[in-house]
Amino acid sequence: MPAEGPGRPFTPFPLPPPTLADVYAARRALAGRVSPTPLVRFPALCRALGCEAYVKLENLQPIGVFKVRGGLYLMSRLGAAERAAGVITASTGNHGQSVAYAAREYGIRAIVAVPREANPLKVGAIRAFGAEVVPIGRDFDEAREWAEAEAGAKGYRYVHPANEPDIVAGVGTISLEILEALPQVEAILVPVGGGSCLAGQAVVAKSLKPTVRLIGVQAEGAPAVTLSWRARRVIETPAADTFAEGLQTRVPFLFTLGLILQHADEMVLVSDAEIRQAMLLLLETARQVAEGAGAAPVAAALRLRERLAGKTVCLVLSGGNVALDALRHLLCDGAP
């Protein structure tokens, strides 16, 4: 694990977080564009985890990942000048798909910067949705820095993958669906990269059911948010060393980090080997394809098996965008 170093004091982001009312407004705006995803209890998975496990199947979204909720809601809220200028963002793949898909739905030009070694399946999908793709940088943060500079120089509306209240409000609709379908839920486990998914659940779940336990999950090789949560300071890491690109963040984002510091009950680190085991377990017991980030909550549930025993637990399967070669390697030798 990267050394955490001293970090720096947390300074709240200068925009107010979305409220529960904002999330209900997002759900109204998304009606007809995003359908509620299934929340399914798979008996074989329950036996493997030792708890009443319900899986929120965000891998069944039109782009294969939860982020479409935030992207569509944000695009719906842009003003005429912002739409005319076009949008630019950076992504390891899933956020880029969300922006590209949503921009196409609203007739907006989109540019997406991606790391040079980004998942080719996701990059291909971004292009297929009509966005211009710019491969640049060794990782997400270098691509992000380029996109931010380009937005400043050319006047595009920069869409940050996490520091966007409308994205968090859109993603928060997941928790509305969870709590309506499963009011007895005792714990919700959520993968954390940039943190928008956990932040969205925090806004809703802690408002509607304060006793529910919110557990964020990161990869051991990309623990920036977890280290920051533990230290109550902002801690960056020199690298994000995990195959799960949805978890590859080495710089915490202040907007989502603020909500996580306030509302997350626990942060759990899991190894890449545990994530691979969880991907295989989901295939075997639930017949669901999960990418690394999407399987991370299952990996955490395995690690927390004794503490979660007998409890009603929701596992957010955030996405299922796995390249065929990676899936082939996973099935053959457990190493995507």
Domain ranges of the chain: 10-65+166-333, 68-163
Number of residues that make up the chain: 336
CA distance 152 to 180: 42
Fold exhibited by the domain 68-163:
Rossmann fold (3.40.50)
pLDDT at residue 4 in the model: 44
Long-range contacts: 29-33, Cβ < 8 Å, 24+?
Answer: 29/72, 29/73, 29/76, 29/77, 30/69, 30/72, 30/73, 30/170, 30/173, 33/72, 33/105
CA distance 236 to 126: 28
Do the first three CATH levels of 10-65+166-333 and 68-163 match, i.e. the same topology? yes
CA distance 2 to 30: 40
The residue whose two tokens read 């990059």 is 123
Per the rule left: phi > 0, alpha: psi between -120 and 50, beta: everything else, 37 is beta
Q: Judging by DSSP bridges, how do beta strands 8-9 and 233-234 pair with one another?
A: antiparallel
DSSP single-letter state for residue 35: P
The active-site residue out of 35, 56, 67, 122 is 67
Q: Which residues pair with 90 in a beta bridge?
A: 113
Contact (Cβ atoms closer than 8 angstroms) between residue 99 and residue 112? yes
Instruction: Note the helical H segments in the chain.
Output: 20-30, 43-49, 68-77, 80-85, 94-105, 120-128, 140-154, 165-171, 173-181, 196-208, 224-231, 254-263, 272-286, 292-303, 305-308, 324-333
Q: CATH code for 10-65+166-333?
A: 3.40.50.1100
pLDDT at residue 324 in the model: 87
Question: Within 10 Å of residue 150's Cβ, how many Cβ atoms?
Answer: 18
The active-site residue out of 98, 175, 196, 318 is 318
| pLDDT tens, N- to C-terminus, the chain (336 residues) | 444 457 899 999 999 999 999 999 999 999 999 999 999 999 999 999 999 999 999 999 999 999 999 999 999 999 999 999 999 999 988 999 999 999 999 999 999 999 999 888 899 999 999 999 999 999 888 999 999 999 999 999 999 999 999 999 999 999 999 999 999 999 999 999 999 999 999 999 999 999 999 999 999 999 999 999 999 999 999 999 999 989 998 999 999 999 999 999 999 999 999 999 999 999 999 999 999 999 999 999 999 999 999 999 999 999 999 988 889 999 987 655
Q: Phi/psi of residue 155, each to 5°? A: 85, 15
318 counts as catalytic: yes
67 counts as catalytic: yes
CA distance 102 to 99: 5
